[in-house]
């Protein structure tokens, strides 16, 4: 990959990392707040529990993404950015533009996703509209 492109992806990734760090810290803070407010007065325990789990899972997801972004930045430093970590083929630039922290090519990603949903016993309901 050309240095100019690498620099551009590095910048995108660094911005993403900063945004994620801020969000995960804020989500962690809000999670604590919800917990300390308890369910004593007007908030139903179940609602509080739900809100807490939602915030925890949100920050969990974002922590995972943060890890992916950091790995991608390391690969830029190593000079392996843009190569699929599974098969070694080049990851298409279209994919990198859409998902700059992508560590695998589309083919390997699909295989991994199929494996995951098989492990979970079916398609996941966690992809997003709620």
> Which residues contribute to the site for Zn ion (CB under 5 A)?
84, 86-87, 105, 108
CB nearer Zn ion, residue 18 or residue 87? 87
CB nearer Zn ion, residue 33 or residue 89? 89
CB nearer Zn ion, residue 37 or residue 80? 80
CA distance 23 to 29: 10
- Whose CA is closest to 34, among 22, 50, 23? 50
Distances (CA, A) of 61 to 22, 36, 58, 128: 14, 23, 5, 12
Smallest gap from Cβ 80 to Zn ion, in A, equals 13
- Give the containing element (helix H, strand E) for 121: none
- Whose CA is closest to 85, among 60, 103, 66? 103
Smallest gap from Cβ 78 to Zn ion, in A, equals 17
Smallest gap from Cβ 126 to Zn ion, in A, equals 24
Burial of 126 (C-beta count, 10 Å sphere; 0-12/13-18/19+): exposed
3-state secondary structure of 39: coil
Smallest gap from Cβ 91 to Zn ion, in A, equals 7
CB nearer Zn ion, residue 22 or residue 110? 110
């Amino acid at each position: 990959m050309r240095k100019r492109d690498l620099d551009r992806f590095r910048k995108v990734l660094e911005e993403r990392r900063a945004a994620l760090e801020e969000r995960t810290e804020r989500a962690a803070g809000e999670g604590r707040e919800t917990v300390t407010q308890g369910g004593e007065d007007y908030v139903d325990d179940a609602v509080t529990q739900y809100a807490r789990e939602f915030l925890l899972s949100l920050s969990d997801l974002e922590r995972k993404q943060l890890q992916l972004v950091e790995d991608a930045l390391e690969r830029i430093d190593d000079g392996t950015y843009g190569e699929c970590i599974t098969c070694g083929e080049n990851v298409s630039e279209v994919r990198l533009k859409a998902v700059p922290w992508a560590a695998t090519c589309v083919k390997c990603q699909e295989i991994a996703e199929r494996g995951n949903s098989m492990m979970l016993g079916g398609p996941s309901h966690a992809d997003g509209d709620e």
